Amino acid sequence: MSITRAFQKAKEQGNGALIGYITAGDPSPEQTPKIADALIRGGVDVLELGLPFSDPIADGPTIQAASIRALNAGTTPMRVLEIAGEIKKDHDVPVVVMTYYNPVFRIGLEKFTAAAKDHGVDGFIVPDLPVEEAQDYKKTANSHGLDTIFLAAPSTTNQRLTKIVNATTGFLYLVSHFGVTGARTSVEDSTVQLIKRVQPFTAGKVPLAVGFGISKPEHVRRVIQAGADAAIVGSAFINVIQKNSQNTQAILEELEATARALKAATKIV
């Protein structure tokens, strides 16, 4: 299923979409497909697989620690693509790889995107590649039928927002607040205002997904009611993995229950 179709399906069911982020290889490459199974059973519509990187500048302590655990477990960029392929064999759910540009550049843009396509990846998020420098990446990814998902932030001007919306495919990733990823206690009023500002730019063009700091059902409910098409949740899932690191069964059961509660909150009222 394409990313676009996943959003359409959620809408037809009267829901926003739930995008679930996990770091591939945390706590081990072998466990990641099982973790993906649990999230998908719980209702995740799109799975975002983080490619572990030694210098994840957009990520807070939770995802940084997950990256370190994954790297220590021997997770390589190509292993992440293999994991994506394992997940896609069992599930008709879009898989998006979130990676910094350095690993892509080192492996080679054509080689990496071709391998991603071969393993069933549907698209990429590259948070440190600005749209102004992304022509080669976008052209190569698009030639393999891969979506290129760009980010917009609270500081993005309307003029630049138009440029980003025109470049992004799959969805627009709206960063809900300044700073890095990580669970927060509440969704700020400024996030609601930001969604209301950006939504007219994306309406009828591309779905709007909101991430950074969204970790509870009430957060999901608030961003969907503000006009977002999807909520992106990462740190809440990674905290479950970290907390139960010695007990795989506990990880899987709690992840499924957490995803189910978050997905229920996407109901459009």
Q: Which of 30, 37, 45, 48 is catalytic?
A: 48
Q: Establish whether 59 is a catalytic residue.
A: yes
Q: How far is CA 227 from CA 2, 68, 199, 203, in A?
A: 22, 35, 7, 10
Q: Establish whether 256 is a catalytic residue.
A: no
3-state DSSP assignment of residue 95: strand
CA distance 266 to 23: 23
Q: Which strand ranges, in their side-by-side order, compose the sheet holding 46-50? A: 147-149, 123-125, 95-98, 46-50, 17-23, 230-233, 208-211, 172-175, 151-152
Q: Which of 26, 45, 59, 254 is catalytic?
A: 59
Q: Are 174 and 194 in contact (CB under 8 A)?
A: yes
Structure tokens at 115: 């391998």
What are the residue numbers of the active site? 48, 59
